[in-house]
Amino acid sequence: MRVWRKISQAFAVSSLICAIPVSVALAEVPYFQHSVHSKLLPPMEERLPKDPLVVTPGKDQVIGKYGGKLRTLVGSPADVKLMFVNGYARLVGYTEELEIEPDILASFEVKDGRTFVLKLREGHKWSDGHPFTSEDFRYWWEDIANNPKLFPAGPPAELLVNGELPKVEFPDPLTVVYSWSVPNPSFLANLAGAAPLLIYRPSHYLKPHHIDYVDRSQLSPKQKIKLKAWAANHNRLDNLYKFDNPELPTLQPWRNTTPAPANRFVGRRNPYFHRVDPKGQQLPYIDELIYTVSEGKLIPAKAASGDTDLQARGLRLQDATFLKENEQRSHYKVLLWETVRGSHFTLYPNLNSENPIWRKLMRDVRFRRALSLAINREEINDILFFGLAVEGNNSVQKQSPFYTEDLRTRWATFDIETANSLLDDMGLTARNDDGTRLMSDGEPLVIVIETAGEETEQSDILELINESWEQIGIEVFTKPSQRAVFRNRIFSGETVMSVWSGFEDGVPTAQSSPATRAPTSQTSYQWPKWGQHFETKGKSGEPADMPEAQHLFNLYKRWLATNDNDEKAQIWREMLQIHADQQFTIGVVGAILQPIVVSNKLRNVPKEGIYNWDPGAQFGIYHPDLFWFQE
């Protein structure tokens, strides 16, 4: 598998997926025939852009037919956002080969790595039929991102390069220009993400809710009082990514029609979607998405009973045998896709713990190394993953040009003797009658490891880790909670250690942004307050005060500043070496195969693929708008 990204640095990049004239489009989408006949919708040739994006079916895919409702199970109402994630309509997007190409954009031009000229498609419309133009970009930049009531910390940190915000221009209705004084190699990748940098909004929908566009002279006294809360109301309505406001126009292939909270969400096809197949049929092929909320532990059983047409969420490798046994009875097939995270299961010591005793322990590299050395990864692999996983650090996978055996195994082999020696060197020699080491305050060294409580697999792994950590005088107490509570406790420093998956981009190249390897995000659970400090430009959180973390941040800034690929690659290697040596995160096993349940009637789901968040957007890069049902 080729894992590289091709981004033009000096010339215009037009879509490699050719455009065709609207006039060759076939008959009207059956789903919309009644609405078109009743004059509720214009005909298809008027709904499409002048030059729609023509998507050619890839490997294991053919030109399909319209119709059908695709059922899938999700773990919580918040997962309605997966309609946005898997729909994967982005200004620019990754191909299956992980190259970046125009999608919503007609083309883009990159000059000297620092100026980005974005060209929109003439005639492109939002899902409600209003034109999609540079005004939607201007509104976001001037009226949202730079409005202190809506963005108190200013525009997103992803737009900062060495502390500098971009110059943003809107020369005409179809052109947007972002420019910096120095290169910004992360810009296009940020636009292409599973949870992308969204630099546009449906201005026609949101302006009536923005104080700058309200004629106060026309308001009643009651309306004027309500206007005081305009910012909160605007933010509540402005959920392009969360996808929980059915009234908010979208550019995705399906639009959510169900307001939250709900246990069943219906996504209906977007009549103005900008893609067509080579025959001129407007995509998507499938008419509706049905997302049903289910308790996570019941998803494998429901999938085996045929209650879903496409399912990966909530399924684990351990479910594969059970799912395979029910293929014929429930009329589906089980695919096994590769995953390419840095690690499937990762421990995150919170270096920003609010407890000074725990913070001192977690910041001592000897402690983190000892914890890693005392994990019996081979046992975990054999018992829970049939020996099919790759044991080692939260680093990179073999498909990456930066992979080495040392990066995978350093401080990650099972060595109880060395682990005990490291803890003794720290002065943690006193033990209670149970053999548990005592901390400086005399309390037993019991690590509370917090989880989002969504997968029993995590509890199984932690139970095995507890058994091996007992050999070094450390006990584990597992504390599950809801995801929102789980995250907020980490962000506030209440959590000592947490569990999550490892780095999403486990197959980086020199052109891949190493931002996740530096303290740049609050959602990096090993240093949430340092990440928050960066994201809020110093208004919240804490500045990084560990030399190794500061060095990682400086290396990231160097990577941003250079256009030399060799230097970028060297920076990547140095950052990976620091992570392996410092054990800021403690990986356990990776390269887990992901079961995918696919209805026998569902076509165009590739037999082989990578199942990843970013890059990948789960199914996104394989174009779910091309999936179709064959009766």
Q: Report the distance separating Cα 155 and Cα 33, nearest Å.
A: 43
Q: pLDDT, tens digit, for every residue of 381-427?
A: 999 999 999 999 999 999 899 999 999 999 999 999 999 999 999 99
Residue 579 lies in a domain: yes
Residue 618 lies in a domain: no
The 10 Å CB-count burial string (b at 16+, else e) for 608-626 is: ebbbbbbbbbbbbbbbbbb
For residue 442, the model assigns a pLDDT of 97
- Tell me what the mean pLDDT of segment 572-597 comes to: 97
- With a pLDDT cut of 70, the percent of the chain lying above it is 96
Q: pLDDT, tens digit, for every residue of 85-118?
A: 999 999 999 999 888 999 999 999 999 999 999 9
Tell me: pLDDT of 19 over 90.
no
For residue 367, the model assigns a pLDDT of 98
For residue 7, the model assigns a pLDDT of 42
434, with CB counted inside 10 A (0-12, 13-18, 19+), is: exposed
The token pair that represents 188 in the structure block: 């296009």
Residue 549 lies in a domain: yes
Q: pLDDT, tens digit, for every residue of 339-384?
A: 999 999 999 999 999 999 999 999 999 999 999 999 999 999 999 9
Q: Coil, strand or helix: which one is 597? A: strand
Tell me: pLDDT of 3 over 80.
no
Residue 159 lies in a domain: no
For residue 452, the model assigns a pLDDT of 92
- Tell me what the mean pLDDT of segment 208-217 comes to: 91
CATH number where 497 lies: 3.10.105.10
Residue 567 lies in a domain: yes
Q: Which residue has the tokens 């999608």?
A: 103
The structural domain count of the chain equals 1
Q: pLDDT, tens digit, for every residue of 483-541?
A: 999 999 999 999 999 999 999 989 998 988 999 999 999 999 999 999 999 999 899 99
Q: What are the angstrom distances between the C-alpha of 205 and each of 46, 149, 234, 287?
A: 21, 19, 10, 25
Residue 66 lies in a domain: no
Q: Which residue has the higher pLDDT, 586 or 214?
A: 586
Specify the pTM. Answer: 0.84
Q: Are strands 175-179 and 167-172 parallel, antiparallel or unpaired?
A: antiparallel
For residue 21, the model assigns a pLDDT of 47
Q: What is the mean pLDDT of the chain?
A: 93
Would you place residue 23 in the very low, low, confident or very high pLDDT band (cuts 50, 70, 90)? very low
For residue 26, the model assigns a pLDDT of 60
At residue 244, φ and ψ (nearest 5 deg) are: -105, 5
Q: Which domain holds residue 569?
A: 345-590
CB 462 within 8 A of CB 499: yes
- Tell me what the mean pLDDT of segment 241-248 comes to: 97
Residue 100 lies in a domain: no
At residue 226, φ and ψ (nearest 5 deg) are: -65, -30
For residue 9, the model assigns a pLDDT of 38
Q: pLDDT, tens digit, for every residue of 134-189?
A: 999 999 999 999 999 999 989 998 999 988 999 999 999 999 999 999 999 999 99
Q: Which residue has the tokens 């025939």?
A: 33
Q: Coil, strand or helix: which one is 410? A: coil
Would you place residue 611 in the very low, low, confident or very high pLDDT band (cuts 50, 70, 90)? very high
Q: Which residue has the higher pLDDT, 167 or 21?
A: 167
Tell me: pLDDT of 5 over 70.
no
Give residue 311's region: left, alpha or beta (phi > 0; psi -120 to 50): beta
Any idea which of 2-11, 66-75, 373-382, 586-595 has the lowest mean pLDDT? 2-11
Residue 169 lies in a domain: no
Tell me: pLDDT of 16 over 50.
no
